[in-house]
A and B are shown apart, each in its own frame.
Chain A
């Protein structure tokens, strides 16, 4: 059993402290959760452990002996392994190659790659994780995100001769995974724990942490806010430690009845991605779309957004003909927050302002083509204030913001012109708890004001907490629409499997 003790960890950037006197004890055979809002110092702590960042002060001891930690190699030699939410998979290579990436490949006569040996070693690594469904010779691109994550973990298990890993750090591993994929991952993590390794599990998802972890440490504003065994800690206590405030209810309740007007309707619609769409979305209603991984949830939203043309059936929009492209959709008052915040949502290098006003340039311009900088500034100011964006200013480039604030920029964009329909694909993915509340409140407020909302979320309690009805998808086909009222996440999961 290894013990790793971190004491007096301090680090400041340009005079402002990111970590102040933080302590953390990790034990072999234990899963330790690290929680905190964005900006609480979790990432800095991980970067220091990985040797990427140097601490101002740190006493690091492993089994009672001091450990140096000056660079990434120190961290690797100390047996630390890191699995990040951003996948560093090389999609063109095979699963086996990804697993052995960075190590010398086994070869014949020192020249030709010994593919058979390579695949065997990869398979061994996978089977140590209890994974047998991943074929090592297959191209990594052909696996889903969850399996890619498993491949990544397996690559941490393959070590150069004589090296063993003692500490696995998982940084938001489930952010991109569906429920089913997460379950697989949890089994793997439990296996690592049983093998005697220490696990540091960083996550926003409190339910996961409650299920999976043994102890939890919460950071707030760069300081220890709580360290306690999970078995003797309540959810509420963790949330209070993270946010510094008590939260009555995660999801703001609906206070007004849904209107009668139909904002958007699909009858018998099939597209390249989804089929059998049959629903009416009413003004003021929040419709959830749920299902297993890649069951077509995003496809439903893409259809509403005019990104996926119907092959058959009819789409109708209250404000006129259903849009056939995103540009038509925005024009007819449909606002969209795509799934991939960085890939599909933001121009990361560009200022908050430009990101926020982009779809509304037409309404802002003067003399038919002149950009109205003052108008842009005013709109961005108003909407970013409304979504409670925390940024150094409207000129700050988007990449400098935290995940939660980046998401708020997208909400600010959606609100530039009051939308009649709001299309949200995983609106709280990778967002800290504080920002989540802001987003829930915002969506509720908009819907009460008569905006129709259609959203997906892999977090079923979020789906139930926010939505009035839930549209269930399986294999790209609509199965049923159920009322959210009275359902528990377990009920919904059962319906998803049953449908």
Chain B
């Protein structure tokens, strides 16, 4: 019984939340339209959280993802405003994400700075760069090509599966693809197996022939790339880019991974569990808004839920 609670407590909590909202919001919460809305609303957070999972598997952190998302967004937008085609802006933004991630990786694995400190530093650097690149302005309107902002507003029609008039948003689709890729990389490749080994015990992994330095570096690069993808998604969704727009993503992403970590036996992060963490945060936002619960109360509740889940799992796991 305790074993079930400790492994599935978070999942049960999630199910209760859904049941509660379904009862309190008949006819509006559990509708395909609303669920599709939620999938789109959480898509950016999801991408950041999924790729954050990659470094958290190694017991590392990346605090710079939010600023990186902003930086990638304004990089693309500035290139658009200079008349470059969409693919150039997107490619440049992704490259910036990758390079920023590599830079984090170099600081953490080669220079040997604690991830918390290193990425706190780059958080500020990337944020400054975002202001520099954008000149502190919000880039919007005609500067953003309609095929870029249109992406976030389009999707795959779902008429064929009986949901007439609805479409699966491209943003949700991107998040699903990132989920699949991260899951594949972490669970199905030797690369992922080694990242978990590093998370288990860095020194032991090194002595067992794992090239810890290069793996850590590359994992940070992937997280940076994920942040850039999320930044582009965000810019596309708001049809604009501003140098602070991604800053809310980092804490929520870490919270989502932590929520997910309560679901695995030994407390290691798994990307499929991170998905549940993201869903919990997204569903709460959606449902509580519909219930007209005050924004500030909502924040307190979300924080309390994260703490409750983590505390619950650490209490039930202490007994062993």
Complex contact B207–A347 (CB within 8 A): no
Complex contact B209–A330 (CB within 8 A): yes
Contact of A369 among B189, B199, B211, B267 (CB under 8 A): B189
- Chain A interface residue count: which class? 20 to 34
Q: B205 at interface (Cβ–Cβ under 8 A)?
A: yes
Query: Could you give, for residues 242-274 of chain B, a 1 whenever the CB lies within 8 Å of some chain A CB and a 0 otherwise?
Result: 000000000000000000000001111000000
CB of A238, distance to nearest CB on chain B (Å): 33
Of chain A, the residue at the smallest CB distance from B265 is A397
Tell me the interface secondary structure of chain B in the complex.
helix
Tell me, in angstroms, the Cα distance from A338 to B205 when the chains sit together: 11
Of chain A, the residue at the smallest CB distance from B320 is A400
Complex contact A371–B188 (CB within 8 A): yes
CB of B318, distance to nearest CB on chain A (Å): 13
Of B189, B204, B210, B265, the most chain A CB neighbours within 10 A belong to B204
CB of B214, distance to nearest CB on chain A (Å): 10
Tell me, in angstroms, the Cα distance from A371 to B265 when the chains sit together: 21
Tell me, in angstroms, the Cα distance from A196 to B193 when the chains sit together: 56
Complex contact B206–A326 (CB within 8 A): yes
Tell me, in angstroms, the Cα distance from A138 to B206 when the chains sit together: 33
Residues of A283-320 at the interface with B, using a CB-CB cut-off of 8 Å, are 305, 307
Residues of B180-196 at the interface with A, using a CB-CB cut-off of 8 Å, are 187-194, 196
Contact of A362 among B190, B205, B207 (CB under 8 A): B190
Q: Given A346-B201, A348-B201, A349-B266: A413 and B190 within 8 A (CB)?
A: no
Of chain A, the residue at the smallest CB distance from B189 is A369
CB of B207, distance to nearest CB on chain A (Å): 5
Q: Which of A23-31, A43-51, A353-361 contacts B (4 or more CB under 8 A)?
A: A353-361
Contact of A371 among B190, B208, B210 (CB under 8 A): B190
Tell me, in angstroms, the Cα distance from A362 to B209 when the chains sit together: 11
**A330 — which chain B residues lie within 8 A by C-beta?**
208-209
**A392 — which chain B residues lie within 8 A by C-beta?**
none
Contact of B190 among A343, A345, A350, A370 (CB under 8 A): A370
Question: Total interface residues on B, using CB and 8 Å?
Answer: 26
Q: A327 at interface (Cβ–Cβ under 8 A)?
A: yes
**A223 — which chain B residues lie within 8 A by C-beta?**
none
Residues of A331-384 at the interface with B, using a CB-CB cut-off of 8 Å, are 331, 336, 338, 343-350, 354, 358-359, 361-362, 364-365, 369-371
**B193 — which chain A residues lie within 8 A by C-beta?**
354, 358, 361, 371
Tell me, in angstroms, the Cα distance from A370 to B186 when the chains sit together: 10
Q: A329 at interface (Cβ–Cβ under 8 A)?
A: yes
Complex contact A344–B189 (CB within 8 A): no
**A331 — which chain B residues lie within 8 A by C-beta?**
209
Tell me, in angstroms, the Cα distance from A344 to B193 when the chains sit together: 18
Residues of B79-121 at the interface with A, using a CB-CB cut-off of 8 Å, are none
**A336 — which chain B residues lie within 8 A by C-beta?**
207-208
Complex contact A347–B210 (CB within 8 A): no
Q: Given A362-B190, A369-B191, A370-B188: A348 and B208 within 8 A (CB)?
A: no
CB of B295, distance to nearest CB on chain A (Å): 39
Complex contact A347–B205 (CB within 8 A): yes
CB of A424, distance to nearest CB on chain B (Å): 13
Please name 6 pairs of A and B residues whose Cβ atoms are closer than 8 Å in the assembled complex, sorted by A. Answer: A325-B211, A330-B209, A346-B201, A359-B210, A371-B187, A371-B192
Which residues of B are at the interface with A, using a C-beta cutoff of 8 A?
187-194, 196-197, 199-201, 203-211, 265-268
Can you name 14 extra interface pairs (CB under 8 A) apart from A331-B209, A344-B203, A397-B265? A336-B207, A344-B201, A344-B204, A346-B204, A347-B197, A347-B205, A348-B201, A349-B200, A349-B268, A358-B193, A359-B210, A370-B189, A371-B188, A371-B193
